[in-house]
Amino acid sequence: MKVRIGQTEIVLDRGDITEYEVDAIVNAANDRLSMGAGVAGAIKRKGGTIIEEEAVRQGPIEVGAVVVTTAGNLPASYVIHAAVMGEDLRATPEMVTRGTLAALRRAEEMKLDSLAFPAFGTGIGRMAPQDCAQAMVSALRQHLAANPGSRLRRVHLVPFHEDVLQVFAATLGNLGKKR
């Protein structure tokens, strides 16, 4: 599924975010930036421990903040680590909104053209897919409306599980004309 907001194409695909050839993938991080399980664990396994080492050196950070590392052995150039969970490893819609917006702002600062996001907080963070989809899609809409000259041309939303993909599809369907 594809939806356009201004100059940016939002692409929804179920898959493995570590395989995306984009400027940056976004990691659903905790405030300590340790990468043990879920999306973070997959990024570390496939990209190498250098990603976690670089991230941890920059932390801890506030929930809602981001840091950037290289992507190690991944096809992406960077990993943007968005802290969407605190020490309790629980995500909330507010945390997901703040992390999504911070990642988008950092991508703009870095002049990136393409990003891939996982479904923040739906695994380790124990957040309902409906809440995640609403928070992330609203943040995307807010960011792109406030930045009509955005350099971002493609933003991939990449849930790993089919049920989460379906929730994102319903939420995105309300955004605009499907292509």
Beta carbons of 174 and 5 less than 8 angstroms apart = no
Q: Which of 79, 88, 77, 86 is nearest to 21 (CA)?
A: 77
Residue 60: cis peptide before it, omega within 30 degrees of 0: yes
How many C-beta atoms lie closer than 10 Å to residue 163's C-beta? Answer: 10
- Tell me, what's the pLDDT at 87? 87
Tell me what pLDDT residue 178 has: 41
Peptide bond into 118 cis (omega under 30): no
Give the residue extent of every domain in the chain.
Answer: 2-173
Q: How far apart are CA 58 and CA 11, in angstroms?
A: 30
Per-residue pLDDT, 176: 54
Per-residue pLDDT of the chain (179 residues; tens, 9 = 90+): 999 988 999 999 999 999 999 999 999 999 999 998 889 999 999 999 999 999 999 999 999 999 999 999 999 999 999 999 998 989 999 999 999 999 999 999 999 999 999 999 998 888 999 999 999 999 999 999 999 899 999 999 999 999 999 999 999 987 654 43
Residue 70's pLDDT is what?
A: 98
Range 2-173: architecture per CATH: 3-Layer(aba) Sandwich (3.40)
